[in-house]
Structure 1
Amino acid sequence: MLVHRRHCILALATVPLWARAHHGWSSFDAERPIYLAGTVRKVRWQNPHAELELELPADLTVPGDLAQRAIPAQTAPVDGKALLAKSVVPRRRDRLWQVELAPLTRMQAWQIAEIKPGAAVSLVGFTLREEKGDAVLRAEYLFIDGKAYALRSGPA
């Protein structure tokens, strides 16, 4: 039993932290939208959903025009304008964040090309309640190359 336990611990240790960061959606604080922006360092473009490792600048602020940005209609009933207007930067000061995007079929429905390391992106989404645990964001909106994408559902 002890040998089996060691093997399990060793096996888990070989899995990158960002691959272990997945949490159920109920763990996220949907009342406090968070704004992140930065440079993509790593990409995992596969199901169950695409993931990014994002490096934030030290002086991250919410852009003054965020609430006025055009966002696309989607099939899910989301008050996107209200989410953008309420968005804040995270309290925690981690420079690297794990970002959970949508499943690949939804990314394809929005015609989002695979994001590459080095790309500049910004997002609005939700962190774990009280920002406890890993620095993880579940993305609601993705802003890349001057376009906005809604990730909760497909295009309306």
Structure 2
Amino acid sequence: MRHQAKWLLAIVILLFLAPAQAHHGWVGGETIEIEGTITAVRLGNPHGELTLEVNGESWTVEVGQPWRNERAGLEESDLAEGVELRVSGEHSGERLLKAEQLWIDGEHYVLYPGRI
């Protein structure tokens, strides 16, 4: 009976970890690049989110956690309303992009070095 309980516990743990990995990890989506103007910002954990106006459509762009953005050389003022940027990353759904790298005023910032 004790052996069965260990297997049951292992299965339950895996079931809870799978959705977290799918949400926070990459799931093999297409890498795309978009360019637009930031219209809304929410920075913080588990990751920051920008609303980007791209050709008349609003896109949600997930950027890194505060420490990851800082490590890439970004300051909070770089990700503010009105800033124009180009961003490359994984297209993760309808008008949703997980940013891997971005460009602001010709400066290049890499959020996830292992992904590019």
| TM-score, length of structure 2 as denominator length | 0.69
Match of 1:149 among 100, 105, 109: 109
Cα RMSD after superposing both structures: 2.1
Matched position secondary structure for 1:105: helix
Match of 1:98 among 54, 57, 60: 60
| CA distance 1:28–1:97, change in 2 (3 Å) | farther
Matched position secondary structure for 1:107: helix
**How far does residue 112 in structure 1 lie from its aligned partner after superposition?**
0.5
**How far does residue 27 in structure 1 lie from its aligned partner after superposition?**
3.3
The structure whose Rg is larger is: 2
Gaps of 5+ in 1: 1-21, 59-94
- Aligned residue number for residue 27 of structure 1: 27
Preserved contact between residue 50 and residue 62 of structure 2 (Cα < 8 Å): yes
**How far does residue 151 in structure 1 lie from its aligned partner after superposition?**
0.7
Count how many residue pairs are aligned between Structure 1 and Structure 2. Answer: 91
Give the share of equivalent positions with the same residue, in percent. Answer: 34
**One-letter amino acid of the counterpart of residue 54, structure 1:** L
- Aligned residue number for residue 140 of structure 1: 100
- Aligned residue number for residue 122 of structure 1: 86
Instruction: Choose between structure 1 and 2 for higher RCO, CA contacts under 8 A separated by at least 6 residues.
Output: 1
- Aligned residue number for residue 81 of structure 1: none
Gaps of 5+ in 2: 1-21
Higher strand share: 2
- Aligned residue number for residue 53 of structure 1: 51
**One-letter amino acid of the counterpart of residue 51, structure 2:** E
Q: Which runs of 4+ in 1 moved over 4 A?
A: none
* 1:117-141 deviation per Cα after TM superposition (whole angstroms, max 9, x unaligned): 011011010112xxxx442100111
**How far does residue 153 in structure 1 lie from its aligned partner after superposition?**
4.4
Higher helix share: 2
Matched position secondary structure for 1:141: strand
